[in-house]
């Protein structure tokens, strides 16, 4: 049960979830607004979160045989318009460069909304034979989509992301690739970010422009709204045919390769905030947390300070024996931050240095000249999984008070055993946070069988609604227009089940997952 704490200036989730979210992003110093409408500045602590999930996903991508490449930011208009359905889907969001070098351009340049058409144009010179396939490329870059309504991390005019683009000799190989991409996203979401997801296929109305089909993972946020956490698209031969990509196959016939693309973006920072946070700020999974442990010295007199510093010094030495000091989010601390007997690693505003050990613990000692309550507030807001309080009585007893961020439980722990225990404690914290999110999703997933029930449950409880749908796109659009809910996915694990569409009563063989979404 959450108790009252030092964080008092954050809007409560239950009162105003969007207000709570903005407060956390700004006051935890994750991001700030840019002078350019709809763009954001990602601050060090927020960028550290992105780096962690980016690097974990990059490990998955490279293990599956993909190579990182880079393509230009600008896409000629003629290329973007080659695939008609694709450009129609993106046209309202495209930003154009019409002048450069003091002159009007002969051909407008789109600021990359996505890279399919540009890549397809180039790949036609790279792929000549089946021996050149599969071609497995991945990009880490920024894209621009001129959104009318923006929110930090969740929907911005410019954002950072990963986009994989692959080409295959057969449809079967491309279909397998779609699943490889989706599984990488599931692993990062669930195993790294502790966010449970539902895997499934998008409806035709929700399919990526120009794709044959789209698979996606959907997550549930703590306000009961869904968030698309990653998509993987089967492009078929659409883009290859439009760009004129052909290869000589084993049967000596010229064919168009099958393409896929899949994407994951900085909106997953926002997902991590909204899937786990509470009224007091961030609650971060240990895997992604820039800091996993903060040590707060507590003292009143110089004599007490020296005693506490000596105890912390011994604790740090044990950490250091297991690994080296690692500079952190905004540069390592210097000697001026040391205290008697200390090894440095002190903090200023934000997280300008990071202690790490081979035990897998990223830590910080907070020696700032602030009250303990101020420090508790500071790190609680930033979601650090564990706080260790060490005062004079703790020193005398050879222990510290370990505070768990997710539920604020306190435990007295022997300092001589803490370092060896921390890796297991962090793993348990990660598992518990995932289970908490899983339990929340289960409680917020409802099976409904009539349109009246659909609307009543959606308005009263929100969450995921499993409902029969006849498969008609107009029916889907009407449900969205009248309720604000969309089909997030048709889940892969939904069983064959005879029923009637909640809207028009037509026959249905499977339930779809509906929700209001970001």
Short-list 108, 109, 126, 121, CA closest to 82 = 121
447 pLDDT higher than 50: yes
Task: Specify the pLDDT at position 334.
Answer: 32
pLDDT band per the 50, 70, 90 thresholds, residue 478: very high
**Sole residue written with tokens 């080409």:** 167
Question: Helix (H, G, I), strand (E, B), or coil: what is residue 242?
Answer: helix
Distance CA 181, CA 504 (A): 35
pLDDT at position 354 is 46
Q: Bin 263: left if φ > 0, else alpha if -120 < ψ < 50, else beta.
A: beta
Cis peptide leading into 415, omega within 30 of 0?
A: no
Could you give the CA distance from residue 28 to residue 30 in angstroms, rounded to a whole number? 6
Share of the chain above pLDDT 70, in %: 89
- CA 452 from centroid of its chain's CA atoms: 34
**Quick one: pLDDT band at residue 347, thresholds 50, 70, 90?**
very low
Q: Beta strands 362-365 and 293-297: pairing type?
A: parallel
Q: How many CB atoms lie within 10 A of CB 47?
A: 20
3-class secondary-structure state, position 289 = coil
Q: Where are the domains of the chain?
A: 17-276, 293-426, 445-515
Task: Specify the higher pLDDT residue, 271 or 350.
Answer: 271
Under CATH, to which class is 293-426 assigned?
A: alpha beta
- Please tell me the predicted confidence (pLDDT) of residue 6: 53
Q: What pLDDT, on a 0 to 100 scale, did the predictor assign at position 330?
A: 38
Q: Average pLDDT in the 436-457 region? A: 98
Sorted by sequence, the CB contacts under 8 Å of residue 219 that are 6+ apart come out as 189, 195, 196, 197, 198, 226, 227, 229, 271, 275
β strands within 319-463, DSSP E: 355-356, 362-365, 386-390, 399-404, 410-414, 445-447
Q: Is the pLDDT of residue 360 over 70?
A: no
| pLDDT at residue 3 tops 90 | no
pLDDT at position 105: 97
Say yes or no to pLDDT of 350 above 60.
no
Task: Please check whether residue 147 is in contact with residue 78, taking contact to mean a CB–CB distance below 8 angstroms.
Answer: no
Calpha distance 290→161 (Å, rounded): 20
What tens digit of pLDDT does each residue of 175-213 get? 999 999 999 999 999 999 999 999 999 999 999 988 999
| Cβ-Cβ contacts under 8 Å for 364 (sequence gap 6 or more) | 291, 293, 294, 295, 328, 345, 346, 347, 351, 353, 354, 355
Q: What pLDDT is recorded for position 90?
A: 66
The partner residues of 220 in beta bridges, in order of sequence, read 226
Geometric angle at alpha carbon 239, from 267 and 109, rounded to 5°: 65
Fill in the DSSP letter of residue 495: P
| Confidence class for position 7, pLDDT limits 50, 70, 90 | low
Binned at pLDDT 50, 70 and 90, residue 86 comes out as low
Mean pLDDT computed over every residue of the chain: 90
141-150, 165-174, 268-277, 448-457: range with lowest mean pLDDT: 141-150
* Beta carbons within 8 Å of 264's beta carbon, 6+ residues apart: 57, 161, 162, 185, 188, 229, 230
Cα(381)–Cα(342) distance, integer angstroms: 26
**Which CATH number applies to 445-515: 3.40.50.720, 3.30.110.30, 3.30.70.20, 3.40.190.10?**
3.30.110.30
Q: Tens digit of pLDDT for each residue in 212-243?
A: 999 999 999 999 999 999 999 999 999 899 88
| Contacting residues for 185 by C-beta, under 8 A, at least 6 apart | 57, 197, 217, 229, 230, 232, 262, 264
* pLDDT digit string, tens, across residues 365-375: 999 999 999 99
Structure tokens at 67: 């190579």
Q: What is the pLDDT of residue 356?
A: 52
Distance of alpha carbon 137 from alpha carbon 134, whole angstroms: 10
Half-sphere exposure of 185 (CA within 13 A, CB side): 31
* Residues 224, 517: Cα–Cα separation, whole Å: 9
CB 107 within 8 A of CB 80: no
User: Is the pLDDT reported for residue 339 higher than 60?
Assistant: no
- pTM for this entry: 0.91
Which tokens sit at 496?
């064959």
Q: Fold for 17-276, please state it.
A: BirA Bifunctional Protein; domain 2 (3.30.930)
Pairing relationship of beta strands 293-297 and 386-390 according to DSSP bridges: parallel
Please check the confidence at residue 324 and state whether its pLDDT lies above 90. no
Q: CA 7 to CA 16: how far, in whole Å? A: 16
In this structure, are residues 207 and 487 in contact, taking their beta carbons and an 8 Å threshold?
no
Question: 158: which 2 tokens?
Answer: 């410019």
Q: How far apart are CA 54 and CA 266, in angstroms?
A: 9
Q: What is the pLDDT of residues 140-168, one digit of tens each?
A: 999 999 888 899 999 999 999 999 999 99
Token pair 């005398």 is at which residue?
396
- Whether the per-residue pLDDT at 251 is higher than 90: the answer is yes
How far apart, in whole angstroms, are the C-alpha atoms of residue 50 and residue 114? 20
**H-only helix segments in 463-510:** 473-483
Q: How far apart are CA 445 and CA 448, in angstroms?
A: 10
Per-residue pLDDT at 83: 65
What beta strand segments (E) does 223-298 contain?
Answer: 226-236, 247-248, 254-255, 258-265, 293-297
């Amino acid at each position: 049960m959450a108790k009252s704490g030092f964080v008092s200036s954050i809007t409560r989730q239950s009162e105003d979830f969007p207000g709570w979210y903005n407060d956390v992003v700004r006051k935890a110093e994750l991001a700030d607004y840019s002078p350019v409408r709809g763009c954001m500045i990602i601050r060090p602590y927020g960028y550290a979160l992105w780096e962690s999930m980016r690097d974990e996903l990059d490990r998955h991508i490279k293990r599956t045989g993909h190579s990182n490449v880079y393509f230009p930011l600008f896409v000629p208009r003629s290329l973007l318009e080659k695939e008609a359905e694709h450009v129609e889907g993106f046209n309202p969001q495209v930003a154009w460069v019409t002048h450069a070098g003091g002159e009007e351009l002969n051909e407008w340049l789109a600021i990359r909304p996505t890279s399919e058409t540009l890549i397809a144009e180039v790949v036609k010179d790279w792929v000549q034979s089946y021996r050149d396939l599969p071609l497995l490329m991945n990009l880490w870059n920024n894209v621009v989509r001129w959104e009318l309504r923006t929110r930090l991390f969740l929907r911005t005019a410019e954002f950072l992301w990963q986009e994989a683009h692959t080409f295959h000799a057969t449809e079967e190989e491309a279909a397998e690739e779609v699943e490889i991409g989706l599984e990488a996203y599931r692993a990062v979401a669930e195993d790294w970010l502790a966010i449970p997801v539902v895997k499934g296929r998008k409806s035709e109305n929700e399919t990526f422009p120009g794709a044959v089909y789209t698979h996606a993972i959907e997550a549930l946020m703590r306000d009961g709204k869904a968030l698309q956490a990653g998509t993987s698209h089967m492009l078929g031969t659409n883009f290859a045919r439009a760009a004129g990509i052909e290869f000589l196959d084993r049967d000596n016939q010229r064919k168009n390769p099958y393409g896929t693309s899949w994407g994951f973006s900085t909106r997953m920072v926002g997902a991590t905030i909204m899937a786990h946070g509470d009224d007091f700020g961030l609650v971060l999974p240990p895997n992604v947390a820039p800091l996993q442990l903060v040590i707060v010295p507590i003292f009143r007199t110089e004599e007490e300070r020296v005693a506490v510093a000596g105890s912390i010094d011994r604790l740090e030495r044990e950490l250091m024996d297991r690994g080296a000091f690692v500079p952190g989010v905004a540069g390592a601390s210097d000697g001026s931050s040391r205290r008697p007997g200390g090894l440095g690693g002190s903090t200023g505003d934000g997280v300008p240095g990071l202690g790490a050990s081979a035990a897998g613990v990223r830590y910080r000692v907070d020696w700032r000249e602030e009250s303990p309550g101020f420090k508790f507030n500071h790190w609680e807001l930033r979601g650090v999984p564990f706080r260790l309080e060490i005062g004079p009585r703790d020193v005398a007893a050879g222990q510290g008070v370990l505070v768990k961020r997710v539920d604020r439980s306190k435990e007295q722990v022997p300092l001589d055993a803490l370092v060896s225990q921390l890796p297991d404690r962090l793993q348990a914290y990660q598992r518990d946070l995932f289970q908490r999110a899983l339990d929340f999703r289960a409680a917020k997933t409802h099976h409904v069988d009539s349109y009246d029930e659909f609307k009543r449950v959606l308005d009263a409880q929100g969450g995921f609604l499993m409902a029969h749908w006849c498969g008609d796109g107009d029916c889907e659009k009407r449900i969205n227009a009248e309720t604000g809910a969309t089909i997030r996915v048709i889940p892969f694990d939904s069983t064959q089940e005879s029923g009637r569409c909640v809207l028009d009563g037509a026959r249905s063989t499977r339930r779809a997952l509906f929700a209001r979404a970001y």
